[in-house]
Amino acid sequence: MGDEAQHVHFEEATDGIKNNDIVVKQKSLKKIEIQLGFLQIHHVYEGSFVMSRSVFVADVAGYEQNDEPVPNINCRMVGIDQEGDNVVVEIKFKALKEKLVREKIVLKYENDEVGLEFVARVLGKGKGTPMLRSGIKCVEVQQDPEETEASDWQGFD
């Protein structure tokens, strides 16, 4: 082998994970996965991400969140705009349960539907504060339903 030191070289990853952007992956023709990264339980977030205009057949301003058969109360689209060949979508996301969370919404315009699936890893209480991805900001911290301020206990005498 000689006196040369053995080195292992890894190629630079080009999967978009190195930067801190929201990851948007097209899973099929009309299904998009949006990876929001790490979030914290009992927090409400607003986020905006850019996706390709190609999945929409009509003017994007006509698309609305479809609430049939059941509305998604944890993930709501609050805005959609076209910028050139891209579409900017704004959402409001409530992280209400721990672990890996998948929230699905459908954007609908007449007979066209585009499915969006949001994936986030939600950290529980005491698990640290996550570094939010670019385009995501915390807008509200909700009270933990298991922590009640109103208690019958009077304390020690």
- 80-115 pLDDT, tens digit each: 999 989 999 999 999 999 999 999 999 999 999 999
- Mean pLDDT to the nearest integer, 33-62: 92
Q: Which residue has the tokens 């954007």?
A: 107
Bridge partner residues of 107 (DSSP): 65, 114
User: Could you check whether the bond before residue 69 is cis, i.e. omega within 30 degrees of 0?
Assistant: yes
pTM higher than the cut 0.95: no
Mean pLDDT of the chain: 86
- Mean pLDDT to the nearest integer, 118-127: 92
Edge-to-edge strands, sheet with 136-141: 75-83, 86-95, 43-52, 136-141
Q: Confidence class of residue 45 from pLDDT cuts 50, 70 and 90? A: very high
Tell me how far apart the 2 most distant CA atoms of the chain are, in Å: 79
* pLDDT above 80 for 2: no
pLDDT at 5: 65
User: Could you check whether the bond before residue 130 is cis, i.e. omega within 30 degrees of 0?
Assistant: no
- Mean pLDDT to the nearest integer, 40-46: 95
